[in-house]
Amino acid sequence: MVAKNPQNKPPGKKSSRKISPTKIIDDVFTDAIEMIKPRFEVDQEAYLERLWEANPDIYNIFRSAKDLEAARERVYTYLEKAEREIFRIENDFHILEKATVRECIRVFKSIIGQVNEYRTEFSALECLWKLANGRKKELKYDVSAGFLIEFINLFRGVAGKSNIYFESREVKKGIPDFLRLEGREASEKRTEILDEIGGTVQMYFKKYPSGLDEDVISWRKDNKTRILKYFNAEESDWDDYQWHLKNVIRDAKPLLDLIELTLEQKNAIRKAVKNRIPFGITPYYLSLMDKNLSIGYDHAVRGQVIPPPEYVDMMVDFRKERDMIFDFMGEHDTSPIDLVTRRYPGIAILKPFNTCSQICVYCQRNWEIDEVLDPKALPSRKKLDEALDWFDDHKSIGDILITGGDPGIMKNSQIEYIFKELSKKSHIYRIRLGSRTPVVLPMRWNDDLIRTLSGFVEPGQREVAIVTHFEHPYEITPESMDAVQKIRRAGMSVYNQEVFTIDNSRRFETAKMRRDLRSIGVDPYYTFNMKGKEETRRYMVPIARILQERKEEARLLPGLDRTDEPVFNVPKLGKNHLRSWQDHRVVMILPNGSRVYEFHPWEKNIKPVPPYNYVDVPIYDYLEELAARGESIRDYHTIWFYY
């Protein structure tokens, strides 16, 4: 399905568990693409009827074309005519609908391009042409509802019938009332509209309480009391981060005794522990989980650390090969020396500590970490010094991110040594510490650690910044707020990197977190599209959704609340800014409804580095999961038009 997919196999056959080698095709590097059958049987004829109704002109083109190439040429002619049509003065479409038409035409032209069929080894055009002519039995792959709905919306979009800007009637050319008026009357009319939009935002925000809400604080005091009693600990132990590290939960029993779990969660934890799959939860983070499943606010907290069964299965099956199979970002090929990763001219990553206080299931580096609090996580002083000395020969690097693992749980003396060595290098103007401890172990940020790090802050010379990883408003607590405020008072900034997953991607869920983060002194920094790692497929969200979230939800927040940038990490190369439409494009839609994206590298217009083809998760599957979680799919109806 995605890069380095260990389940890449022909339809209907069991996986051979062989990894398909990366293949170079023309100017694109890509991985083999899996065609899969739909998860559920659907009434395909009903979907096909809707498809041809969506754009009868295209249907007639397919029906009248004697062969595939004739169909291709006629579709191109139709699209070029449709594009010219929207520039006519007599055209009655709203100008914003015209923008959607142009975007859909651009996408459709890309999908039917022969070069994209060659690169992806599939032709959506051929599939549609055969379906229109009753030749379904000739198809190599079954097409899913997701595939058909993609084209239903694309056909509608090309025809100017996207249904984005109207509910009961189409929006034609014209000027809204508040722009027709002047003065106070105009502003009052505009205020009515803005109040309506603002009220909608507040309505959604109420769905997502933070850990600063009084009721949540009260529940968690009870959780804390139960956990301390369970471990025979005193109240004072709770504020000691070393107590939490000594009592990290590494097996299922404490969870079974302290919180309600689903049968699937119980079985997955037991299998993970039995097979020594990295697993661990701090007592503090356990206190953020709802005792009873019926409360239901802690889905993102549980999703961070309780592995789904398919993740455990793949980690077990590929234990010996995991360092290559699960290395989505290709760090093996971007590490010029042990402990260092480099993808950009002015920035590098230093990884001096290869474990964490607890294990995030979808960690980018799950292939590196052997166990929670691994005693072998620290490299030798010789290897660390070699990595530090390497920076002396690469003076274009001025920004160092110290990460891992989680270097925040190293001893203060070990952290101080690294900072001291880096601060001796005059070309390094910023040192960042990447740590999830403000979220999962906030008591780690005691006076000693703050004093250690703040000693390296030199305004105008050297910045020290903390980069952390909140995933949901429910993780924002009085304890994490206190830790952040200590850091800020010491002259250091705090930034957040969010991973956009199924657990924080509902309407305004991430927007609410942005506002709550700002309230405690954290600046939203990056929102990462979920890595295309097959073992964590359950967490993945279509790229269309992160684009929709940015436009329709984040855009409604004040600028200081939406300082994060949505990005896709291109393997081996680095970040592609998803708002930059000129740096990515849809090149195909596969039978299972997956979009194939061509991502251009950040080096574009600087160096000739080839693009990367990525297979996304189907929008249909994502919406199906949201519906199962009680969401109204109508709320997401514009998602299909984000490319």
CATH number for the domain spanning 562: value is 3.20.20.70
- Distance in Å from the first CA to the final CA of the chain: 19
Question: Are 588 and 126 spatial neighbours (Cβ–Cβ below 8 Å)?
Answer: no
Domain boundary among 315, 336, 369: 315
User: Is 522 domain-assigned?
Assistant: yes
pLDDT at 4: 36
User: Could you tell me which residues come within 8 angstroms of residue 90 by beta carbon, excluding any fewer than 6 positions away?
Assistant: none
Shared domain check, 247 and 112: no
- Is the pLDDT at 9 greater than 60? The verdict is no
| 127: amino acid identity, one letter | C
Give the number of other Cβ atoms within 10 Å of residue 619's Cβ.
24
pLDDT above 70 covers a percentage of the chain that reads 91
Do 281 and 355 have their domain in common? no
pTM score, two decimals?
A: 0.91
In terms of Cβ atoms closer than 10 Å to its own Cβ (0-12, 13-18, 19+), residue 292 is exposed
> What's the CA gap between 625 and 538, in Å, rounded?
10
Between CA 550 and CA 642 the distance in angstroms is 11
Q: Are residues 404 and 543 in the same domain?
A: yes
| φ, ψ of residue 34 in degrees (nearest 5) | -95, 130
CB atoms within 10 A of CB 41: 9
The DSSP result for 38-75, as a single string, is -SS---HHHHHHHHHHH-HHHHHHHHH-SSHHHHHHHH
Q: Using the predicted structure, report yes or no on whether residue 26 has a pLDDT greater than 70.
A: no
Do residues 222 and 126 both lie within one domain?
no
- Cα separation, 19 vs 41, in Å, equals 29
Q: Strand locations in 265-341, DSSP E?
A: 340-341
Q: Give the residue among 642, 583, 577, 636 at the shortest CA–CA distance from 616.
A: 642
Strands 493-500 and 595-599: unpaired
**Has residue 350 been placed in a domain?**
yes
Domain of residue 557 covers: 328-603
User: Do residues 482 and 522 share a domain?
Assistant: yes
The helix-helix angle for 68-85 and 56-64 (nearest 10°) equals 150
Q: Is residue 273 part of a domain?
A: yes
Note whether residue 265 is domain-resident: yes
Structure confidence by residue, pLDDT tens digits, 262-291: 999 999 999 999 988 889 999 999 999 999
Please name the residue ranges forming H helices in 391-490: 412-423, 437-440, 447-454, 478-489
Quick check: is 25 in a domain? no
pLDDT digits (tens, 9 = 90+) for 392-412: 999 999 999 999 899 999 999
CA 152 to chain centre: 26
Does 405 sit behind a cis peptide bond, omega within 30 degrees of 0 on the bond before it?
Answer: yes
Q: Based on the domain organization, do 277 and 335 belong to the same domain?
A: no
Supply the pLDDT for residue 333. Answer: 85
Q: Is 579 helix (H, G, I), strand (E, B) or coil?
A: coil
Q: What is the pLDDT of residues 316-353, one digit of tens each?
A: 877 777 666 677 777 878 899 999 999 999 999 999 99
Q: Angle 189-191-196 (CA atoms, 0-180°, nearest 5)?
A: 105
Q: Which two tokens stand for residue 252?
A: 């299922």
Q: How many domains does the chain have?
A: 3
Same domain, 509 and 581: yes
User: Crossing angle of helices 619-628/145-158, nearest 10°?
Assistant: 110
Helix (H) or strand (E) holding 499: strand 493-500
Q: Which stretch of 24-38, 116-130, 271-285, 580-594 has the lowest confidence by average pLDDT? A: 24-38
Closest CA to 33 of 2, 63, 57: 2
445 & 519 share domain: yes
Q: What is the DSSP letter of 561?
A: G
Residues 441 and 508 in one domain: yes
Task: Examine the domain organization and report whether 245 and 143 are in the same domain.
Answer: no
501: confidence class by pLDDT, cuts 50, 70, 90: very high
Residue 45 binned pLDDT confidence (cut-offs 50, 70, 90) = confident
Q: Collapsing DSSP states into helix, strand and coil, what is residue 342?
A: coil
Q: Where are the beta strands (DSSP E) in 151-300?
A: none
Burial of 377 (0-12, 13-18, 19+ CB in 10 A): buried
Q: Is residue 613 situated within a structural domain? A: no
pLDDT above 80 (res 7): no
Question: Rg of the chain over CA atoms, in angstroms?
Answer: 26
Residue 80 and residue 97: Cα distance in Å, rounded? 17
The count of other CB atoms within 10 Å of the CB of residue 156 is 21
Does some domain include residue 632?
no
Residues 428, 482, single domain; the answer is yes
- Domain endpoint, select from 114, 129, 158: 158
Residue given tokens 């927007």 in the structure block: 511
Does residue 199 form part of some domain? Answer: no
Query: Distance (Å, rounded) from C-alpha 291 to C-alpha 236?
Result: 23
Q: Which residues contact 454 (CB under 8 A, 6 or more apart)?
A: 464, 490, 491, 492
Residues 363 and 452 grouped into a single domain: yes
| Of 266, 289, 315, the domain-final residue | 315
Cα dihedral: 532, 538, 540, 542 (round 10): 110
